Amino acid sequence: MFGGFYLALKEAIKSTLVTQVIAQMKGLIEEGEWVVGTRIPPEPELVKQLGVSRNTVREAVQALVHMGLLETRQGDGTYVRSQSELGATLMRRLRRSGVEETLEVRHCLEREAARLAALRRSDEDVQILRLCLKLHDEAMRCRNIEDFLSADLALHHAIVAAAHNSVMLDLYDHMSEAVRASISSMIPKLDHVLVHRLLDLHHELVEAVIAKNAEAAEVAARKHDEVVQTMLQERATQESEA
Amino acid sequence: MFGGFYLALKEAIKSTLVTQVIAQMKGLIEEGEWVVGTRIPPEPELVKQLGVSRNTVREAVQALVHMGLLETRQGDGTYVRSQSELGATLMRRLRRSGVEETLEVRHCLEREAARLAALRRSDEDVQILRLCLKLHDEAMRCRNIEDFLSADLALHHAIVAAAHNSVMLDLYDHMSEAVRASISSMIPKLDHVLVHRLLDLHHELVEAVIAKNAEAAEVAARKHDEVVQTMLQERATQESEA
DNA sequence: CACCATTTGTTCGTATGTATT
DNA sequence: TAATACATACGAACAAATGGT
């Protein structure tokens, strides 16, 4: 990599107290200190910890609410709604379009990631990939839908992670999160033949990445996508019949 | 397309006055009523037009400021900083990584878009592509850097637009915007041989899309990417020499 | 340079509706 | 049902910064 060449930045100098608090709370959320779905400390607690006035805390909280990161419930408390601003914003944007468009972009990232992963994967990546594949096969036997979906997403995440491009990984993860509900509702009606074909392709894909064979990895990713496309079309015909 | 299958939505009912004002102002910005870089009406004016109190207006403005859409300057006014929330958020995220990562994802979208464009382009797309190519060649002769860059971006935008995937197009455009400054600073030092090779590839790419030849389009996009990679490496070596 | 109008920033107070206890 | 706490919205006054005369 040819380093030291970053995007032009303009902000930096602007820092009110509220802005700092926002940055700090956003940091806590994005670092995972404040877990999604849980309740954050009550306002008096935040006032003590951050050392600012209650008004400032309130203003920062409201800003984060409007950004989609937090959610306030009267008489209850404020909860974490999303782990990243990009995720929340992207989610709002993706909701305006059909799932097909999101899946198409997601696959596009996946295919390039497969190619790059074959070129760049580390030894540590290999270990993670093998582990994911093992869990994936086990979850398959248990036939628990949610567990299987989680294992599937973890495997694909690991492949994209092995490409070592953080922007690509972020976009991919957020898109996976966005389509998860849709996919989950789709799985129960699947053709078993296709599912097994999918599992074979997962093995083929991982092996290609481990073998550092970029072309094979890309081909496997493409075949994987074609199977998913077929599943979607089957589901569509089922829907129109019902 | 198999329609009527959208992402699960949760929000919907939450509507305070501030939220409504935020939505309204965001709409004005995204529709282009309030142009980027210009000043929006002063608070008293907004109070009259929207029929809410100044505090409510201020809260909405602050929310939009924290989202990156607006920028306030005391004693001067409030200015439009970005046209879309996704653009602003994505920009902040991309700033944290090197340009290389962004360019890599952008190329990935571009390649898939080229393939899809060849499959889906309409007759109207063809007209637009030919026009962009013509303007592109003319800008080339004038040797004005900014004009040439604009024509180049317009051409690539048209190709991605011809793929008819709005999510892909949005992401691509915002990434182009994010790297524009970096590319602009890179152009003056370019090798003329490479530039002409790039122009030839632009023609090859557009013709492939018009001919509905998906494989050729993807190949041309990949070759285009390789040339850009070469340019980046040349620039990197020049930097290290200086 | 001083002055002034404009515009945003800050901090009060008050009224009203709503959720929790 | 009554009491309490909180969120929301409005209004008003003053402070601070900017741009032009």
The answer to whether A159 and A129 are in contact (CB under 8 A) is: yes
Amino acid at the residue A136: H
Residue of A24, A55, A93 to mutate when probing chain B, most B C-beta within 10 A? A93
Name the pLDDT band for B12 (thresholds 50, 70, 90): very low
| % residues pLDDT > 70 (chain A) | 88
B182 touches chain A (CB under 8 A): yes
What the block records as the tokens of A219 is: 């081909």
Q: Given this model, what pLDDT does residue A78 score?
A: 81
The tens digit of pLDDT for each residue in B225-235 reads: 999 888 888 77
The minimum CA-CA distance between B163 and chain A, rounded to whole Å, is: 11
Contact B101 A232 (CB under 8 A): no
Residue of A99, A105, A176 to mutate when probing chain B, most B C-beta within 10 A? A105
CA B46 to C1' D16, whole Å: 22
Residue with tokens 């015909």: A237
For residue A109, pLDDT over 60 is answered with yes
Q: H-helix or E-strand containing A52?
A: none
Q: How many other C-beta atoms are found inside a 10 Å radius of the C-beta of residue B68?
A: 21
A166 Cβ contacts chain D strand, under 7 Å = no
The tens digit of pLDDT for each residue in A144-175 reads: 778 888 899 999 999 999 999 999 999 999 99
Chain A residue numbers touching B59 (CB-CB < 8 A): 62
For residue B6, pLDDT over 60 is answered with no
B113 closest CA partner among B238, B3, B218, B237? B218
The tens digit of pLDDT for each residue in B145-158 reads: 788 888 999 999 99
The answer to whether B61 and B78 are in contact (CB under 8 A) is: yes
For residue B159, pLDDT over 70 is answered with yes
Q: Given this model, what pLDDT does residue A62 score?
A: 83
Residue B189: how many CA atoms within 13 Å on its side-chain side? 14
| Cα–Cα distance measured from residue A147 to residue A42, given in angstroms and rounded to the nearest whole number | 34
Q: What domains does chain B contain, in order, with CATH numbers?
A: 17-83 (1.10.10.10), 87-241 (1.20.120.530)
For residue A11, pLDDT over 50 is answered with no
The minimum CA-CA distance between A5 and chain B, rounded to whole Å, is: 6
| Cα–Cα distance measured from residue A133 to residue A127, given in angstroms and rounded to the nearest whole number | 10
Chain B residue numbers touching A3 (CB-CB < 8 A): 98
Name the pLDDT band for A241 (thresholds 50, 70, 90): low
- Please give the backbone phi and psi of residue A69, each rounded to the nearest 5 degrees, phi first: -85, -35
- The closest nt to B74, taking CA to C1', is C8
The answer to whether B64 and B10 are in contact (CB under 8 A) is: no
The answer to whether B183 and B145 are in contact (CB under 8 A) is: no
Q: How many other C-beta atoms are found inside a 10 Å radius of the C-beta of residue B51?
A: 10
Residue with tokens 């077929």: A230
| Cα–Cα distance measured from residue B119 to residue B159, given in angstroms and rounded to the nearest whole number | 12
Q: Given this model, what pLDDT does residue B50 score?
A: 94
Name the pLDDT band for B142 (thresholds 50, 70, 90): confident
A202 vs B184: which has the higher pLDDT: A202
A97 touches chain B (CB under 8 A): yes
| Cα–Cα distance measured from residue A130 to residue A137, given in angstroms and rounded to the nearest whole number | 11
Q: Is A156 exposed, middle or buried (0-12, 13-18, 19+ CB in 10 A)?
A: buried
CA A11 to C1' D21, whole Å: 33
Mean pLDDT (whole number) for B94-101? 92
A16 Cβ contacts chain C strand, under 7 Å = yes
A47 vs A3: which has the higher pLDDT: A47
For B158, B177, B241, B242, the CA distances from B187, given in Å and listed in that order, are: 21, 16, 18, 17
| Cα–Cα distance measured from residue A167 to residue A113, given in angstroms and rounded to the nearest whole number | 11
Contacts 24+ apart (CB under 8 A), B83-86: B83/B29, B83/B30, B83/B32, B83/B36, B84/B29, B84/B30, B84/B170, B84/B174, B85/A89, B85/A92, B85/B26, B86/A89, B86/A90, B86/A93, B86/B170, B86/B174
Which of A190-199, B27-36, B145-154 has the lowest average pLDDT? A190-199
Q: Given this model, what pLDDT does residue B79 score?
A: 97
Q: Given this model, what pLDDT does residue B242 score?
A: 57
Quick one: how far is CA A125 from the chain centroid?
18
Name the residue closest to D5, CA to C1'.
Answer: A75
For residue A216, pLDDT over 70 is answered with yes
B242 touches chain A (CB under 8 A): no
Beta bridge partners of B79: B39, B71
Mean pLDDT (whole number) for B201-205? 94
For residue A3, pLDDT over 50 is answered with no
CA A44 to C1' C9, whole Å: 25
Q: Given this model, what pLDDT does residue A9 score?
A: 32
Q: How many other C-beta atoms are found inside a 10 Å radius of the C-beta of residue A32?
A: 9
B173 vs B182: which has the higher pLDDT: B173
Q: Residues near A203 by Cβ (< 8 Å), separated by ≥ 6?
A: A133
- The closest nt to B71, taking CA to C1', is C8
What the block records as the tokens of A214 is: 């970029």
Which of A2-11, B74-83, B181-190 has the lowest average pLDDT? A2-11
- C-alpha R_g of chain A: 21
Chain A to chain B Cβ contacts (< 8 Å) = 138
Give chain A's mean pLDDT.
Answer: 84
CA B32 to C1' C5, whole Å: 30
Q: H-helix or E-strand containing A155?
A: helix A145-161
B61 Cβ contacts chain C strand, under 7 Å = yes
A101 touches chain B (CB under 8 A): yes
